[in-house]
């Protein structure tokens, strides 16, 4: 699978993932476990690949594919 997440998008995903993962440490309500959703943006940000972007044919990565001649 090709890299389809650009650098700014990666930084945002990593920050959002870390913030969401910290929720169980700060919240005392039953909603705190929703912070585990942060695993997905963290993984996609670190890997640079997003399966959702691939399904939709999107890419925020500035690297262009070479067309066969």
**Residue 30 placed within a domain:** yes
CA angle 44, 14, 48 (to 5 degrees): 35
**Residue 31 placed within a domain:** yes
**Residue 63 placed within a domain:** no
* Domain count across the chain: 1
Q: What is the extent of the structural domain holding 37?
A: 7-56
Q: Distance between CA atoms of 33 and 21, rounded to whole angstroms?
A: 9
Q: How far is CA 56 from CA 5, 37, 40, 41, in A?
A: 13, 21, 17, 17
**Residue 52 placed within a domain:** yes
The whole model's pTM is what?
A: 0.81
Query: Is pLDDT at 66 greater than 70 in this prediction?
Result: no
What does the pLDDT look like over 18-65, one tens digit per residue? Answer: 999 999 888 888 888 888 999 999 999 999 999 988 899 888 888 766
């Amino acid at each position: 699978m090709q890299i389809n997440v650009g650098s700014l998008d990666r930084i945002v995903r990593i920050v959002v993932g870390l913030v969401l993962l910290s929720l169980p440490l700060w919240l005392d309500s039953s909603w705190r476990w929703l912070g585990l959703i942060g695993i997905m943006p963290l993984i996609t940000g670190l890997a640079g690949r997003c399966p959702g972007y691939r399904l939709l044919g999107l890419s925020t990565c500035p690297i262009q594919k070479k067309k066969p001649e």
